[in-house]
A = this chain, B = another copy of it.
Amino acid sequence: MPKQPLLPRKKPRQARAAVTVETILEAAARVLSKRSLDGFNTNRIAEVAGVSVGSIYQYFPNKAALVAALIGRAQDSLADAVERSLQRSQGQRLERVLLALIDVAIEHQFGDAVLAAALDHEEQRLPLGQMLSATQHRIAKAVQEALQAHPELAKTTVTATTTIDCFTIAKALIESEATRPKPDLAALRKRVLLALQGYLLQPATKTIPRKRTRTDTQSVQESP
């Protein structure tokens, strides 16, 4: 049962080593982006990076850790884009705020579709656990605060779960469109907006009679 560590094995201490690590990550991204998961093997990565396979294993304990590092980078870049977007759309109508965020997400997915899709899949499969949660919490918190503060959502309780659901919904619709032969981004944008507005601006949610279950308490969690 190989409980594989996903953290980098050690940090480069010399300048040239830092370059090596950078080169490896770039090569990995390029290989993943060109041929997706097939052909994504350490030998090819080493070849593209112009280093020996052994060098990869000096810094990453296994292939999964390499992928985890790429995911971390993608998350960081997304987090920056989200925060910039929130700042730019401050004080605007909710529709504008949401559209701006949707555009960020679409750009993130379609900017390098193959890479983004591959990373998304690996993100699910790897037991990343906490590793990425720092950045993810950073994004989620920023969005949650923006939504909570928005006048049009005065009547909506925006919990952490609500925010994460919005991410989940938007991501799923965007990824789904990305797998189509001829994506229609304008229509996609509308559909995601509709879904998010619908989820957030629900008209007077009446309590629903439902089948018996164990956990019949408060349905939304508090923010951490």
Residues of chain A at the chain B interface (Cβ within 8 Å): 2, 37-38, 95, 99, 103, 117, 121, 124-125, 161, 164-165, 168-169, 171-173, 176, 179, 184-187, 189-191, 193-195, 197-203, 205, 208, 210-211, 213-216, 219-220
Instruction: State in angstroms the CA–CA spacing of A125 and B103 once bound together.
Output: 25
Residues on B with C-beta less than 8 A from A202 are: 194, 197-198
Task: Say yes or no: B187 contacts A194, CB within 8 Å.
Answer: no
Bound-state CA distance A159–B95 (Å) is 24
Q: How close is A206's CB to chain B, nearest CB, in angstroms?
A: 9
| Identical subunits present | 2
Nearest B residue (CB) for A179: B124
A187 & B215 in contact (Cβ 8 Å cutoff)? yes
Given the known A-B contacts A172-B171, A208-B99, are A219 and B190 also in contact in the complex, defined by CB atoms under 8 Å?
yes
Which residues of B lie under 8 Å from residue A191 when comparing CB positions?
161, 165, 219
Asked whether, in the complex, the Cβ of B121 is within 8 Å of the Cβ of A219, the reply is no
Please give, as numbers and ranges, the residues of chain B lying within 8 Å of A99 by CB-CB distance.
208, 210
Please, how many angstroms separate the alpha-carbon atoms of A17 and B210 in the complex?
47
A168 CA to B202 CA, complexed, in Å: 20
Residues of B within 8 A of A172 (CB): 168-169, 171-172
Q: For residue A194, which residues in chain B have a CB less than 8 angstroms away from its CB? A: 199, 202, 205
Tell me whether A190 and B208 are in contact (CB under 8 A): yes
Contact A184 B219 (CB under 8 A): yes
